[in-house]
Amino acid sequence: MTKADQLADIPIATILRVNAARTIPLERYEDEGNFDRIGYLRDLADDHGADLAGVIAIADLLGPEEDFDALVTEIEDGADGFGFGSPAFPSREGEA
């Protein structure tokens, strides 16, 4: 699934809410190569093979002030197998 396809599955209201919840200066997201918070979350999901909706859910639980700290740790731990069976990391049965 492409980044555009992932974003197409997220309701516009969610995108607007996620971007409005941002507490970290926009420049920090731009430093990461993104123009807004949702773009950053999309890239984080893509970089770790996670589901964007799951990453948004985790980001909502942790709060926007954790976007570059606890959120990254949670996503990395999930990608390393600690999140097996979670909605952010769907089963990868059949993959070698």
Q: 40-52 pLDDT, tens per residue?
A: 999 999 998 888 9
The region that residue 63 occupies, defined by phi over 0 for left and psi between -120 and 50 for alpha, beta otherwise, is left
pTM of the model: 0.80
Res. 94 pLDDT band, cuts 50 70 90: very low
Q: Report the pLDDT value the prediction gives residue 1, as an integer from 0 to 100.
A: 60
pLDDT tens-digit profile of 11-30? 999 999 999 999 999 999 99
Q: Once rounded to an integer, what is the mean pLDDT over residues 74-93?
A: 66
